[in-house]
Chain A
Amino acid sequence: MDVPPDIRSVTEAMPPLPFRAAVRVVSATLALLLYAGCREKAPPAGITVLLEAPPDSLDDRFALTAHGQRLAQLISPGLLTFDDASSPVPQLAESFRDVSATVVEFVLRPGLTFHDGTALTAEDVKATYDSLRDPALGSPKRERYEPLERVEVVDARTVRFHLKRPYAPLLAELSAAILPAERAGPQGIEAQATHPVGAGPFRFESWPDEEHLTLTPFAGWHGGTPALSRLTFRVVRDETTRVLELLKGRADLVVNGVSPAVLPALREAPHLRVVTKPGTGFTYVGINLREGPLADVRVRQALCHLIDVGPLVEHKLHGLAEPASSMLPRAHWAFTATPACGYSPEEAGRLLDAAGYPDPDGPGGQPRLAFTFKTSTDRFRRAVALVLKEQLARGGVAIEVRGLEFGTFFDDVRRGRFELFTLKWAAVMEPDLLRGAFHSGNIPGPENHWGGFNRGALKDPALDRMLDAATQAPREERRALYAQAQQELDAVLPVIPLWHESSVAVVSSRLVDFEPSAHGLLTPLARAREVTPSSGAGRTP
């Protein structure tokens, strides 16, 4: 049969067979690559935890960020840790006791070993705390150990801390990571920073870049080998991406990294569950007491009466917070219930009248008072500030909300360049924080490099005495002193307490028995179990 000329010309124009075969192979390869690229990547083996920011260091002596400290605790825990009531409980220590007002004795658990197989002894504890106090090491936490005079090794399992003077808050600092003695000195910084070794439930495997960190379970952990095959931490800064990763099943855990408003979408996913626990974070309105109307306690009380925390907790935080009456959360061992101001616009009006700020022209007209309210550019904080603006306006107090870039905002707060602001303490554990935040010796200034936490400049000698006494008293006495201090703070109102945010964990069905810590710690991972989809049973390590 004759081939039509046009078809023949096309056929003749076609390249020889080997070329066509090559084109097919290349096309097939491209298609395969495209398929591979479009296909969902399998999640890494084990459990994947998403973090909002990378750790600054895995050496607890240098870690200052929450993520750095929490990850360091997984690798290298301390003698003590804190339970949900913020009470110190033994971790590597088996027990501890006060030998005298200035001597605390710790007995280590038997058979403790580091990840490299060497035994953990009292010498390691001494070397760790000596290094923390050594100026040559340059730990930013050195100042915290100023009351510590020396560390004495009694025997291989017993160590004593000798203090210069009675100082109860030191116990909170004895949760520092215990390192092998040979790594504790300045010569071990590099090794500990790049390949940390500790005696924690998870051992370091790799940290190729700041976005990824892998740990594996440690069989020698005194609490038993963690039932997770591997722990991968991945930094995902954007919240929407974190949520999508959870929904797609590419991540198993996010702790305090999802806004309350987004949680309903996650609750609907069958493979996810949202677990909450009352938390210790404290959100408050800071007040500048140095001058002006806010120096008058009646004005501060009036502002407190105008703020209705209930709707904020119910709608903005979706119930995942508890209205605060004090810096200490309700579950804290030193908490004492105080009357708190409560929402009462009528009482606020009466107080403002008494303070000399009558309403000039009735409701809705000219304000009685006007203030600036500084906040960071964080969306949630700005939104809260706008609600507070609306609530205060109803009582005749006008506020201008200024959202500033965090560095500028925080510098203004430290240097007292504010009238009102809002901030949050990430976790309130040691009640001595009250002394940091409200003692007149802690007003920021050049002498403390603007580092004091008493940013509103409260000067209350009676409160100072209570807080000073609490640092040297036994625990029961401390509780009574802090109760008095909380009542005094309730009366003078240097800050307006808003709420304690809950600890919220979004957990995949591959991770069971994970219960979040009130402080947002990651240590509950040591007790959690990994479930493989096929078996549906907990993995046996």
Chain B
Amino acid sequence: MSGARRFRLQSWGARFGLAVACLWVFTALFAPWLSPHPPDAIDLTRELARPGPGHLLGTGENGIDVLTHVLHGARVSLEVSFFAVLLSGVLGITLGGIAGYAGGLVDEGLMRLVDVLLAFPGILLALFITSVLGPSLTNVVFALSFTGWTGYARLTRGQVLTLRERDYVQAARALGSGPGRILVRHLLPNAAGPLLVQATFALPGAIVAEASLSFLGLGVPPGTPSWGALVDQGTQYLLVAPHVALFPGIALAVTVLGFNLLGDALRDAMDPRHQGP
């Protein structure tokens, strides 16, 4: 039975994770049509109103609609996490592949660079970058990708080192294939499984990192809907309006849990040690 089939049929975590991921993507894509109010609409007279008709999840600071911001927050988290993972992935896989295949000084140099970057706490570096460059979606993606690629680079290098002496690679080399072709056509496709698992785990990491930066006021620009920014807003009013922090907090927790379960299921499905006879 193939790993993919086991993943589909047997894992409840995968089913839950997939459902959350699909709901998240759907919400993010259709947020403007699902939202009852424009995201920049404010109404000072309705500030911190409790959930009720007109504002199903209540209102927050300046009278913003919490439901609208939760829905649009999904859009922001999708944009940031997708592009951060994509950028990290492309950079990490390229550099890791080169390091693993070329070996020698190139490998040494790239891996020491990875070591240096990993020595810094990622979120601290991201905080530094966004505080210098200022809050914006692009800067958050850049800040998260700045250290995010290192995980992909290490993983790709390890996979390439394992695979590059395989018979089919030797055969491709004997037939005259160049390093680039071998990497792209033979090595990376066979390393895709672990990389996909890595990406699945990186996605919730990026979502939480974006929320953390926004919570500290260094993520998205003020006024941009974001789960982290909404939780930040709500913490000040926990006693008088707990709903402001509660609903984005639930959205954040469920999404991260869903992706982690999905990642777990994917890893189990891809890992031969977890496969039956």
A29 within 8 A of B: no
- Which one, A240, A261, A264, A401, contacts B221 given CB within 8 A? A401
Known: A316-B47, A402-B135. A265 touches B239 (CB 8 A): yes
- B237 / chain A contacts, CB cutoff of 8 Å: 261-262
The answer to whether A315 touches B239 (Cβ under 8 A) is no
B115 an interface residue at 8 Å Cβ cutoff?
A: no
Is B222's CB under 8 angstroms from A240's CB? no
Q: Are B47 and A315 in contact, with the CB atoms below 8 A?
A: yes
Q: Which of B216, B221, B236 contacts A400 (CB 8 A)?
A: B221
The distance in angstroms between the C-alpha atoms of A223 and B218, with both chains bound, is 50
Instruction: Assess whether B131 is in contact with A405, with CB atoms less than 8 Å apart.
Output: yes
The stretch from B38-46, B100-108, B191-199 touching chain A is B38-46
Contact A311 B44 (CB under 8 A): yes
CB of B62 within 8 Å of the partner chain: yes
For residue A377, CB closer than 8 A to chain B, the reply is: yes
Q: Is A537 an interface residue (CB 8 A)?
A: no
Quick check: B47 and A375 within 8 Å, CB to CB? Answer: no
The answer to whether B131 and A262 have CB atoms under 8 Å apart is no
Is A389 on the interface with B (CB-CB < 8 A)? yes
Residues of chain A with a CB closer than 8 A to B47's CB: 261, 315-316
**Nearest-Cβ distance from residue B233 to partner chain A, whole angstroms:** 7
- Which A residues, 201 to 250, have Cβ-Cβ distances below 8 Å to chain B? 239-240, 243-244
B61 interface contact, C-beta 8 A = yes
Are the CB atoms of B42 and A377 closer together than 8 Å? no
Cβ of B79 within 8 Å of any chain A Cβ, yes or no, is no
Question: When chains A and B are docked, how far (Å) is the Cα of A385 from the Cα of B223?
Answer: 9
Q: Which residues of B contact A375 (CB under 8 A)?
A: 222
With beta carbons under 8 angstroms apart, the residue of B44, B233, B240 that contacts A315 is: B44
Task: Using A261-B48, A316-B44, A387-B44 as known contacts, say yes or no to A402 and B238 having CB atoms under 8 A apart.
Answer: no
Asked if A402 and B218 sit within 8 Å, CB to CB, the answer is no
Chain B residues lying within 8 Å of A312, measured Cβ to Cβ, are: 44
**Cα distance A103–B44 in the bound complex, in angstroms:** 54
Interface string of A255-267 (1 = CB under 8 A from B): 0000101101100
| Known contacts A316-B44, A387-B44, A387-B62, A382 near B239 by CB under 8 Å | no
Would you give the shortest CB distance from A317 to chain B, in whole angstroms? 11
**Contacting pair A386 B42 (CB below 8 A):** yes
The residues in A between 301 and 338 inclusive whose CB is less than 8 angstroms from any CB of B are 311-312, 314-316
Partner of A403 from B217, B233, B235 at Cβ < 8 Å: B217
In-complex Cβ contact of A259 among B42, B131, B223, B236 (8 A): B236
- The residues in B between 203 and 245 inclusive whose CB is less than 8 angstroms from any CB of A are 216-218, 221-223, 232-233, 235-240
Q: How far is the CB of A320 from chain B (nearest CB, A)?
A: 14
A382→B232 CA distance, assembly (Å):
12
Of B45, B61, B135, B223, the contact of A379 (CB 8 Å cutoff)? B61
Find chain A residues with CB under 8 A from B239 CB.
240, 243-244, 262, 265
Fill in one digit per residue for B65-109: 1 if any A CB lies within 8 Å of its CB, else 0.
000000000000000000000000000000000000000000000
Q: Indicate which residue in B61, B216, B236 contacts A240 across the interface (CB closer than 8 Å).
A: B236
Q: Are A403 and B135 in contact (CB under 8 A)?
A: yes
Of A239, A259, A261, A402, which one neighbours B134 at CB under 8 angstroms?
A: A402
Contact of B218 among A264, A385, A405 (CB under 8 A): A405
Question: Which among B42, B217, B221, B236 is the interface contact of A387 at CB below 8 angstroms?
Answer: B42
Kindly list chain B residues whose C-beta atoms are within 8 Å of the C-beta of A316.
44, 47, 62
A104 at the interface (CB under 8 A from B): no
Give bound CA distance, A311 to B233, whole Å.
20
**Residue from A262, A264, A315, A386 within 8 A of B222 (CB atoms):** A386
Q: Is the CB of B134 within 8 A of A383?
A: no
- Complex Cα distance, B47 from A390, in Å, reads 15
A315 touches B221 (CB 8 A): no
Flag whether A404 is at the interface (Cβ < 8 A).
yes
**Complex Cα spacing A382 to B238, Å:** 19
Residues of B in contact, count (CB < 8 Å): 26
Contact A385 B44 (CB under 8 A): no
Q: A11 in the interface, Cβ–Cβ < 8 Å?
A: no
Q: Does A408 sit at the interface, judged by CB under 8 A? A: yes
Contacts of B240 in A (CB 8 A): 261-262, 264-265
Q: Are A390 and B218 in contact (CB under 8 A)?
A: no
A467 CB to nearest chain B CB (Å):
35
Of B61, B216, B221, B238, the residue contacting A383 (CB under 8 A) is B61
A264 to B61, CA, bound (A): 15
Taking the closest CB of chain A, its distance from the CB of B65, in whole angstroms, is 14
In the complex, which residues 380-400 of chain A have their Cβ closer than 8 Å to any Cβ of chain B? 382-383, 385-387, 389-390, 400
Q: Are B217 and A377 in contact (CB under 8 A)?
A: yes
A382 near B235 with CB under 8 A, answer no
Interface 1/0 per residue, A422-450 and B, CB below 8 Å: 00000000000000000000000000000
* CB-CB nearest in chain B for A240: B238
Given A401-B222, A403-B221, A386 and B62 touching (CB < 8 A)? yes
Chain A stretch 175-195: residues in CB contact (< 8 A) with chain B: none
Query: Do A383 and B48 touch across chains, with their CB atoms under 8 A apart?
Result: no
Chain A residues lying within 8 Å of B236, measured Cβ to Cβ, are: 239-240, 259, 261-262, 379
CA distance A37 to B235 in the complex (A): 26
Which B residues lie within 8 Å of A389 (CB)? 223
A261 vs B236: C-alpha distance in the bound complex, in angstroms?
Answer: 9
Q: Find chain A residues with CB under 8 A from B45 CB.
A: 311, 315
Which of B40, B235, B236 is most buried by chain A, counting CB atoms within 10 A of its CB? B236
- In the complex, the answer to whether B222 meets A382 with C-beta atoms within 8 Å is yes
Which chain A positions have C-beta within 8 A of B223? 386, 389, 401
Contact B221 A402 (CB under 8 A): yes
A417 to B237 Cα, complex, angstroms = 33
Q: Write the nearest CB–CB distance from A72 to chain B, whole angstroms.
A: 30
Cα distance A389–B44 in the bound complex, in angstroms: 13
Chain A residues closer than 8 Å to B221, beta-carbon distance: 400-403
| Distance A385 CA – B235 CA, assembled complex (angstroms) | 19
Count chain A CB atoms within 10 A of each CB in B40, B47, B131, B239 and give the residue with the most: B239
Map CB proximity to B onto A353-381 as digits: 1 under 8 Å, 0 otherwise.
00000000000000000000001010100
- For B222, the chain A residues whose CB sits under 8 A away are 375, 382, 385-386, 401-403
Complexed CA–CA distance, A316 and B217 (Å) = 20
A92 to B40, CA, bound (A): 55
Can you name 23 A-B pairs with beta carbons within 8 Å? A240-B236, A244-B239, A261-B236, A261-B237, A262-B239, A265-B239, A311-B44, A311-B45, A312-B44, A315-B47, A379-B236, A385-B222, A386-B222, A386-B223, A389-B223, A390-B40, A400-B221, A401-B221, A401-B223, A402-B134, A402-B221, A403-B135, A405-B131
Nearest 5 CB-CB pairings of A with B = A377-B217, A315-B44, A403-B222, A382-B222, A405-B131
Chain B interface residues (CB < 8 Å from chain A): 40, 42, 44-45, 47-48, 61-62, 131-132, 134-135, 216-218, 221-223, 232-233, 235-240
Give me 5 other A-B pairs in contact (C-beta within 8 A), A240-B236, A389-B223 excluded. A316-B44, A316-B47, A316-B62, A383-B233, A402-B135
